[in-house]
Amino acid sequence: MYVVVSDNMSFEDSMAVSAVAFEKTCFIERSSESNDMEYSKEGETQIKFSKEVKCEMVDFDSLPDYLKDNEFILGYYRCEWPLKETILSIFSIHNETLNIWTHLIGFLIFLSLTVFTAMMIPKDAPFPSMQHPGELENAMPALISWHLPELLVNCLPKRFSYASNVTDPCVLTSVKDDVTSIISPLLMKPVTRWPFFAFLCGAMFCLLTSSICHLILCHSERMAFIMLRLDYVGIAALIVTSFYPLVYYSFMCQPFYCHLYMGFITTFGVATISVSLVPVFQTAEFRSVRAGLFFCMGVSGLLPIMHKLIAFHHRPEVILSAGYELLMGTFYGLGVVVYATRIPERWMPGRFDIIGHSHQLFHVLVIAGAYTHYLAGLVYLKWRDFEGC
Ligand SMILES: [Zn+2]
Protein backbone atom coordinates (compact mmCIF):
# COMPACT_ATOMS: atom_id res chain seq x y z
CA MET A 1 0.00 0.00 0.00
CA TYR A 2 1.31 3.47 -0.92
CA VAL A 3 0.78 6.87 0.78
CA VAL A 4 1.89 10.15 -0.79
CA VAL A 5 3.76 12.43 1.69
CA SER A 6 4.88 16.00 0.88
CA ASP A 7 8.45 17.02 1.83
CA ASN A 8 7.27 19.80 4.19
CA MET A 9 5.02 17.53 6.25
CA SER A 10 6.15 15.62 9.27
CA PHE A 11 5.57 11.90 9.30
CA GLU A 12 3.03 12.29 12.14
CA ASP A 13 1.07 14.84 10.07
CA SER A 14 1.09 12.54 7.11
CA MET A 15 -0.21 9.71 9.23
CA ALA A 16 -3.05 11.92 10.44
CA VAL A 17 -3.99 12.77 6.84
CA SER A 18 -3.78 9.10 5.95
CA ALA A 19 -5.99 8.13 8.84
CA VAL A 20 -8.72 10.40 7.46
CA ALA A 21 -8.24 8.91 4.01
CA PHE A 22 -8.57 5.40 5.38
CA GLU A 23 -11.93 6.11 6.97
CA LYS A 24 -12.87 6.38 10.60
CA THR A 25 -12.69 2.76 11.69
CA CYS A 26 -9.52 1.68 9.87
CA PHE A 27 -5.84 2.27 10.53
CA ILE A 28 -2.43 1.17 9.32
CA GLU A 29 -1.11 -1.32 11.78
CA ARG A 30 2.70 -0.82 11.36
CA SER A 31 4.80 2.25 10.42
CA SER A 32 7.06 2.22 7.38
CA GLU A 33 10.74 1.25 7.37
CA SER A 34 13.51 3.38 5.83
CA ASN A 35 14.36 0.86 3.14
CA ASP A 36 10.74 0.98 1.99
CA MET A 37 11.03 4.69 0.98
CA GLU A 38 10.93 5.71 -2.65
CA TYR A 39 11.31 9.18 -4.24
CA SER A 40 9.16 10.54 -7.06
CA LYS A 41 10.20 13.20 -9.67
CA GLU A 42 8.03 15.85 -7.99
CA GLY A 43 10.09 15.66 -4.79
CA GLU A 44 7.45 13.74 -2.92
CA THR A 45 8.30 10.79 -0.78
CA GLN A 46 6.33 7.65 -1.31
CA ILE A 47 6.40 5.41 1.70
CA LYS A 48 5.75 1.75 1.20
CA PHE A 49 3.96 -0.01 4.04
CA SER A 50 4.43 -3.67 4.46
CA LYS A 51 1.19 -4.19 6.41
CA GLU A 52 -2.39 -4.10 5.21
CA VAL A 53 -4.99 -1.66 6.50
CA LYS A 54 -6.71 -2.92 9.64
CA CYS A 55 -10.36 -2.13 10.24
CA GLU A 56 -12.24 -2.35 13.50
CA MET A 57 -15.84 -3.26 14.08
CA VAL A 58 -18.05 -0.87 16.01
CA ASP A 59 -21.18 -0.99 18.18
CA PHE A 60 -24.69 0.02 17.16
CA ASP A 61 -24.48 3.35 18.98
CA SER A 62 -21.42 4.40 16.92
CA LEU A 63 -23.16 3.88 13.57
CA PRO A 64 -24.30 6.75 11.35
CA ASP A 65 -28.09 6.93 11.02
CA TYR A 66 -28.22 5.34 7.56
CA LEU A 67 -26.65 2.13 8.94
CA LYS A 68 -28.85 1.92 12.03
CA ASP A 69 -31.40 -0.73 11.16
CA ASN A 70 -31.75 -3.22 14.00
CA GLU A 71 -31.23 -1.94 17.53
CA PHE A 72 -31.30 -5.49 18.91
CA ILE A 73 -28.02 -6.33 17.17
CA LEU A 74 -25.57 -4.53 19.40
CA GLY A 75 -22.11 -5.14 18.00
CA TYR A 76 -19.80 -6.50 15.26
CA TYR A 77 -20.73 -3.79 12.74
CA ARG A 78 -18.46 -2.83 9.85
CA CYS A 79 -18.78 0.89 9.25
CA GLU A 80 -17.48 2.87 6.27
CA TRP A 81 -14.50 0.64 5.62
CA PRO A 82 -12.52 1.14 2.39
CA LEU A 83 -14.04 -0.83 -0.51
CA LYS A 84 -11.23 -3.38 -0.65
CA GLU A 85 -11.48 -4.21 3.05
CA THR A 86 -15.28 -4.25 2.81
CA ILE A 87 -15.18 -6.81 -0.02
CA LEU A 88 -12.53 -8.94 1.70
CA SER A 89 -14.67 -9.01 4.84
CA ILE A 90 -16.68 -11.76 3.13
CA PHE A 91 -14.06 -14.08 4.68
CA SER A 92 -14.18 -12.62 8.19
CA ILE A 93 -16.66 -12.84 11.05
CA HIS A 94 -19.07 -9.95 11.64
CA ASN A 95 -22.82 -9.56 11.99
CA GLU A 96 -23.40 -9.76 8.20
CA THR A 97 -21.24 -12.82 7.48
CA LEU A 98 -24.08 -15.33 7.57
CA ASN A 99 -26.44 -12.94 5.76
CA ILE A 100 -23.93 -12.83 2.90
CA TRP A 101 -23.22 -16.56 2.82
CA THR A 102 -26.79 -17.84 3.21
CA HIS A 103 -27.84 -16.11 0.01
CA LEU A 104 -24.55 -16.75 -1.77
CA ILE A 105 -24.94 -20.48 -1.11
CA GLY A 106 -28.60 -20.14 -2.15
CA PHE A 107 -27.44 -18.59 -5.42
CA LEU A 108 -25.06 -21.51 -6.03
CA ILE A 109 -27.85 -24.00 -5.25
CA PHE A 110 -30.13 -22.36 -7.82
CA LEU A 111 -27.30 -22.17 -10.35
CA SER A 112 -26.89 -25.95 -9.95
CA LEU A 113 -30.66 -26.46 -10.26
CA THR A 114 -30.68 -24.39 -13.47
CA VAL A 115 -27.92 -26.51 -15.01
CA PHE A 116 -29.66 -29.69 -13.85
CA THR A 117 -32.99 -28.55 -15.31
CA ALA A 118 -31.39 -27.59 -18.62
CA MET A 119 -29.78 -31.02 -18.88
CA MET A 120 -32.97 -32.97 -18.15
CA ILE A 121 -35.00 -31.44 -21.01
CA PRO A 122 -36.13 -34.34 -23.19
CA LYS A 123 -34.82 -34.38 -26.73
CA ASP A 124 -37.11 -32.91 -29.40
CA ALA A 125 -39.27 -35.40 -31.18
CA PRO A 126 -38.51 -36.60 -34.68
CA PHE A 127 -41.90 -35.15 -35.68
CA PRO A 128 -41.66 -31.56 -34.49
CA SER A 129 -45.19 -30.73 -35.61
CA MET A 130 -46.58 -33.10 -33.02
CA GLN A 131 -46.65 -31.01 -29.90
CA HIS A 132 -49.43 -32.70 -28.00
CA PRO A 133 -50.66 -36.23 -27.50
CA GLY A 134 -54.02 -35.08 -28.86
CA GLU A 135 -52.42 -34.75 -32.26
CA LEU A 136 -51.40 -38.36 -32.06
CA GLU A 137 -55.05 -39.30 -32.25
CA ASN A 138 -55.53 -37.31 -35.42
CA ALA A 139 -52.45 -38.78 -37.01
CA MET A 140 -53.09 -42.40 -36.05
CA PRO A 141 -56.80 -42.70 -35.30
CA ALA A 142 -56.91 -46.45 -35.40
CA LEU A 143 -54.13 -46.70 -32.84
CA ILE A 144 -55.54 -44.30 -30.29
CA SER A 145 -59.28 -44.57 -30.77
CA TRP A 146 -61.49 -47.30 -29.49
CA HIS A 147 -60.77 -49.27 -32.66
CA LEU A 148 -57.50 -50.41 -31.16
CA PRO A 149 -58.95 -53.38 -29.25
CA GLU A 150 -60.33 -54.71 -32.51
CA LEU A 151 -57.01 -54.08 -34.19
CA LEU A 152 -55.19 -55.97 -31.47
CA VAL A 153 -57.59 -58.85 -31.69
CA ASN A 154 -56.36 -59.53 -35.19
CA CYS A 155 -52.74 -59.58 -34.07
CA LEU A 156 -52.95 -61.42 -30.79
CA PRO A 157 -52.85 -65.20 -30.41
CA LYS A 158 -56.13 -66.95 -30.70
CA ARG A 159 -56.67 -67.46 -27.00
CA PHE A 160 -56.87 -63.67 -26.52
CA SER A 161 -59.43 -63.15 -29.24
CA TYR A 162 -63.07 -62.30 -28.65
CA ALA A 163 -63.96 -65.55 -30.38
CA SER A 164 -62.41 -67.56 -27.56
CA ASN A 165 -64.70 -65.65 -25.21
CA VAL A 166 -62.07 -65.56 -22.44
CA THR A 167 -60.55 -62.14 -22.88
CA ASP A 168 -61.97 -59.23 -20.95
CA PRO A 169 -62.12 -56.15 -23.23
CA CYS A 170 -60.57 -54.21 -20.33
CA VAL A 171 -57.34 -56.09 -20.91
CA LEU A 172 -57.21 -54.84 -24.47
CA THR A 173 -58.05 -51.30 -23.34
CA SER A 174 -55.20 -51.53 -20.86
CA VAL A 175 -52.87 -52.68 -23.63
CA LYS A 176 -54.02 -49.71 -25.69
CA ASP A 177 -53.14 -47.35 -22.83
CA ASP A 178 -49.73 -48.95 -22.52
CA VAL A 179 -49.03 -48.61 -26.22
CA THR A 180 -50.21 -45.00 -26.13
CA SER A 181 -48.02 -44.16 -23.17
CA ILE A 182 -45.00 -45.67 -24.92
CA ILE A 183 -45.55 -44.00 -28.26
CA SER A 184 -46.83 -40.59 -27.12
CA PRO A 185 -43.57 -39.38 -25.55
CA LEU A 186 -41.75 -40.33 -28.74
CA LEU A 187 -43.97 -38.05 -30.77
CA MET A 188 -44.14 -35.18 -28.28
CA LYS A 189 -42.24 -31.96 -28.32
CA PRO A 190 -41.49 -30.78 -24.77
CA VAL A 191 -43.34 -27.70 -23.65
CA THR A 192 -41.38 -24.46 -23.78
CA ARG A 193 -39.12 -23.92 -20.76
CA TRP A 194 -38.69 -20.14 -20.80
CA PRO A 195 -41.18 -19.37 -17.98
CA PHE A 196 -39.40 -21.87 -15.73
CA PHE A 197 -35.95 -20.52 -16.59
CA ALA A 198 -37.23 -16.96 -16.10
CA PHE A 199 -38.13 -17.95 -12.53
CA LEU A 200 -34.73 -19.58 -11.97
CA CYS A 201 -32.97 -16.46 -13.30
CA GLY A 202 -35.17 -14.25 -11.08
CA ALA A 203 -34.28 -16.36 -8.04
CA MET A 204 -30.55 -16.30 -8.85
CA PHE A 205 -30.62 -12.53 -9.45
CA CYS A 206 -32.44 -11.90 -6.16
CA LEU A 207 -30.10 -14.11 -4.13
CA LEU A 208 -26.93 -12.70 -5.71
CA THR A 209 -27.93 -9.03 -5.39
CA SER A 210 -28.98 -9.64 -1.79
CA SER A 211 -25.63 -11.21 -1.01
CA ILE A 212 -23.70 -8.34 -2.64
CA CYS A 213 -25.93 -5.83 -0.88
CA HIS A 214 -25.15 -7.31 2.54
CA LEU A 215 -21.44 -7.37 1.71
CA ILE A 216 -20.80 -3.79 0.58
CA LEU A 217 -23.74 -1.70 1.78
CA CYS A 218 -21.76 -0.54 4.84
CA HIS A 219 -19.01 1.03 2.70
CA SER A 220 -20.64 4.48 2.40
CA GLU A 221 -23.98 6.24 2.41
CA ARG A 222 -23.94 6.43 -1.39
CA MET A 223 -23.19 2.71 -1.65
CA ALA A 224 -26.04 1.97 0.78
CA PHE A 225 -28.39 4.05 -1.39
CA ILE A 226 -27.44 2.11 -4.54
CA MET A 227 -27.41 -1.33 -2.91
CA LEU A 228 -30.81 -0.95 -1.23
CA ARG A 229 -32.36 -0.11 -4.59
CA LEU A 230 -30.65 -3.11 -6.18
CA ASP A 231 -32.04 -5.26 -3.38
CA TYR A 232 -35.58 -3.98 -4.08
CA VAL A 233 -35.18 -4.78 -7.78
CA GLY A 234 -33.98 -8.31 -6.90
CA ILE A 235 -36.97 -8.97 -4.63
CA ALA A 236 -39.41 -7.65 -7.24
CA ALA A 237 -37.71 -9.79 -9.93
CA LEU A 238 -38.13 -12.93 -7.77
CA ILE A 239 -41.82 -12.21 -7.11
CA VAL A 240 -42.65 -11.41 -10.76
CA THR A 241 -40.79 -14.36 -12.25
CA SER A 242 -42.31 -16.71 -9.65
CA PHE A 243 -45.66 -16.04 -11.33
CA TYR A 244 -44.46 -17.03 -14.79
CA PRO A 245 -44.38 -20.87 -14.48
CA LEU A 246 -47.62 -20.87 -12.45
CA VAL A 247 -49.53 -18.70 -14.91
CA TYR A 248 -48.00 -19.91 -18.17
CA TYR A 249 -48.28 -23.66 -17.60
CA SER A 250 -51.70 -23.44 -15.93
CA PHE A 251 -53.30 -21.29 -18.63
CA MET A 252 -51.21 -22.03 -21.73
CA CYS A 253 -54.35 -23.42 -23.39
CA GLN A 254 -56.39 -20.35 -22.44
CA PRO A 255 -54.38 -17.50 -24.01
CA PHE A 256 -56.71 -14.77 -22.71
CA TYR A 257 -56.09 -15.61 -19.03
CA CYS A 258 -52.44 -16.40 -19.71
CA HIS A 259 -51.82 -12.95 -21.23
CA LEU A 260 -54.01 -11.24 -18.64
CA TYR A 261 -52.14 -12.63 -15.62
CA MET A 262 -48.68 -12.34 -17.22
CA GLY A 263 -49.37 -8.74 -18.27
CA PHE A 264 -50.79 -7.86 -14.87
CA ILE A 265 -47.88 -9.15 -12.79
CA THR A 266 -45.24 -7.78 -15.18
CA THR A 267 -46.85 -4.32 -15.08
CA PHE A 268 -47.20 -4.53 -11.29
CA GLY A 269 -43.54 -5.52 -10.98
CA VAL A 270 -42.31 -2.69 -13.22
CA ALA A 271 -44.45 -0.20 -11.26
CA THR A 272 -43.10 -1.47 -7.93
CA ILE A 273 -39.50 -1.27 -9.13
CA SER A 274 -40.11 2.28 -10.43
CA VAL A 275 -41.57 3.35 -7.11
CA SER A 276 -38.60 1.82 -5.31
CA LEU A 277 -36.09 3.65 -7.50
CA VAL A 278 -37.61 7.13 -7.73
CA PRO A 279 -36.01 9.29 -5.00
CA VAL A 280 -39.27 11.01 -4.02
CA PHE A 281 -40.61 7.69 -2.77
CA GLN A 282 -37.59 7.07 -0.55
CA THR A 283 -38.79 9.25 2.30
CA ALA A 284 -39.98 7.63 5.52
CA GLU A 285 -43.61 8.54 4.84
CA PHE A 286 -43.58 6.27 1.76
CA ARG A 287 -42.03 3.34 3.61
CA SER A 288 -45.43 1.72 4.18
CA VAL A 289 -46.42 2.37 0.55
CA ARG A 290 -43.31 0.54 -0.67
CA ALA A 291 -43.86 -2.36 1.72
CA GLY A 292 -47.54 -2.48 0.73
CA LEU A 293 -46.69 -2.70 -2.97
CA PHE A 294 -44.38 -5.68 -2.43
CA PHE A 295 -46.97 -7.33 -0.19
CA CYS A 296 -49.82 -6.85 -2.70
CA MET A 297 -47.64 -8.13 -5.53
CA GLY A 298 -46.92 -11.35 -3.61
CA VAL A 299 -50.49 -11.86 -2.40
CA SER A 300 -51.95 -11.29 -5.89
CA GLY A 301 -50.52 -14.73 -6.71
CA LEU A 302 -53.52 -16.18 -4.88
CA LEU A 303 -55.77 -15.18 -7.78
CA PRO A 304 -54.26 -17.42 -10.51
CA ILE A 305 -53.78 -20.22 -7.94
CA MET A 306 -57.49 -20.18 -7.02
CA HIS A 307 -58.44 -19.92 -10.69
CA LYS A 308 -56.20 -22.87 -11.53
CA LEU A 309 -57.73 -24.98 -8.75
CA ILE A 310 -61.26 -24.25 -9.93
CA ALA A 311 -60.49 -24.87 -13.60
CA PHE A 312 -58.33 -28.01 -13.22
CA HIS A 313 -59.33 -29.48 -9.86
CA HIS A 314 -59.51 -32.93 -11.46
CA ARG A 315 -55.80 -32.89 -12.35
CA PRO A 316 -53.51 -34.43 -9.70
CA GLU A 317 -50.62 -32.24 -10.93
CA VAL A 318 -52.65 -29.11 -10.17
CA ILE A 319 -53.42 -30.28 -6.64
CA LEU A 320 -49.77 -31.22 -6.05
CA SER A 321 -48.40 -27.94 -7.43
CA ALA A 322 -50.94 -25.99 -5.33
CA GLY A 323 -49.69 -27.92 -2.28
CA TYR A 324 -46.12 -26.79 -3.04
CA GLU A 325 -47.37 -23.23 -3.54
CA LEU A 326 -49.11 -23.34 -0.18
CA LEU A 327 -45.86 -24.52 1.41
CA MET A 328 -43.99 -21.75 -0.41
CA GLY A 329 -46.46 -19.17 0.91
CA THR A 330 -45.98 -20.54 4.42
CA PHE A 331 -42.18 -20.19 4.17
CA TYR A 332 -42.38 -16.65 2.74
CA GLY A 333 -45.07 -15.64 5.25
CA LEU A 334 -43.04 -16.99 8.16
CA GLY A 335 -40.00 -15.17 6.77
CA VAL A 336 -41.86 -11.85 6.68
CA VAL A 337 -43.11 -12.36 10.26
CA VAL A 338 -39.59 -13.16 11.53
CA TYR A 339 -38.17 -10.21 9.57
CA ALA A 340 -40.76 -7.74 10.86
CA THR A 341 -40.80 -8.86 14.50
CA ARG A 342 -37.00 -9.26 14.77
CA ILE A 343 -37.30 -12.52 16.62
CA PRO A 344 -35.26 -13.88 18.39
CA GLU A 345 -32.80 -11.02 18.95
CA ARG A 346 -35.45 -8.72 20.47
CA TRP A 347 -35.74 -11.18 23.37
CA MET A 348 -31.99 -11.19 24.08
CA PRO A 349 -30.32 -8.14 22.46
CA GLY A 350 -26.68 -8.79 21.61
CA ARG A 351 -26.95 -12.55 21.99
CA PHE A 352 -27.59 -13.27 18.29
CA ASP A 353 -25.31 -10.66 16.70
CA ILE A 354 -23.21 -13.25 14.84
CA ILE A 355 -25.44 -16.32 14.60
CA GLY A 356 -29.20 -16.79 14.73
CA HIS A 357 -30.69 -13.32 14.27
CA SER A 358 -33.94 -12.79 12.39
CA HIS A 359 -32.45 -11.70 9.07
CA GLN A 360 -30.49 -14.94 8.77
CA LEU A 361 -33.65 -16.95 9.49
CA PHE A 362 -35.47 -14.81 6.92
CA HIS A 363 -32.81 -15.63 4.31
CA VAL A 364 -33.08 -19.38 4.95
CA LEU A 365 -36.89 -19.21 4.72
CA VAL A 366 -36.66 -17.33 1.40
CA ILE A 367 -34.43 -20.07 -0.03
CA ALA A 368 -36.83 -22.76 1.27
CA GLY A 369 -39.77 -20.91 -0.32
CA ALA A 370 -38.00 -20.52 -3.66
CA TYR A 371 -37.00 -24.21 -3.61
CA THR A 372 -40.59 -25.38 -3.05
CA HIS A 373 -41.58 -23.17 -6.00
CA TYR A 374 -38.91 -24.95 -8.05
CA LEU A 375 -40.50 -28.29 -7.12
CA ALA A 376 -43.90 -26.94 -8.19
CA GLY A 377 -42.32 -25.91 -11.50
CA LEU A 378 -41.12 -29.48 -12.10
CA VAL A 379 -44.69 -30.71 -11.58
CA TYR A 380 -45.95 -28.20 -14.18
CA LEU A 381 -43.32 -29.31 -16.70
CA LYS A 382 -44.22 -32.97 -16.24
CA TRP A 383 -47.91 -32.19 -16.64
CA ARG A 384 -47.58 -30.10 -19.80
CA ASP A 385 -44.85 -32.23 -21.36
CA PHE A 386 -47.17 -35.20 -21.23
CA GLU A 387 -50.57 -33.65 -21.77
CA GLY A 388 -49.96 -30.46 -23.73
CA CYS A 389 -53.22 -28.61 -24.14
ZN1 LIG B 1 -31.19 -9.76 3.39
pLDDT digits (tens, 9 = 90+) for 321-370: 999 999 999 999 999 899 989 999 999 999 999 999 999 999 999 999 99
Q: What is the pLDDT of residue 17?
A: 38
Is 214 known to sit in a ligand binding site? yes
pTM (2 decimals)? 0.73
In angstroms, what is the span from residue 39 Cα to ligand 1's centroid? 47
**What pLDDT shows up at residue 293?**
85
- Nearest to 325, CA basis, from 234, 249, 267, 218: 249
Q: How is domain 91-122+192-387 classified at the CATH fold level?
A: Rhopdopsin 7-helix transmembrane proteins (1.20.1070)
Delimiting residues of CATH 1.20.1070.10 domain(s) in the chain: 91-122+192-387
> Cα of 22 to ligand 1 centre, how many Å?
27
The Cα 315–Cα 309 span in angstroms is 9
Min mean pLDDT across 288-297, 315-324, 331-340 is at 288-297
pLDDT(80) > 80:
yes
pLDDT at 289: 81
Cα–Cα distance for residue pair 267/272, rounded to 1 Å: 9
94 CA from centroid of ligand 1 (Å): 15
Residue 14 pLDDT > 80: no
Percent of the chain residues topping a pLDDT of 90: 53
Q: 326 C-alpha to center of ligand 1: Å?
A: 23
Q: For residue 284, what pLDDT is reported?
A: 67
Does the pLDDT of residue 242 top 80, yes or no? yes
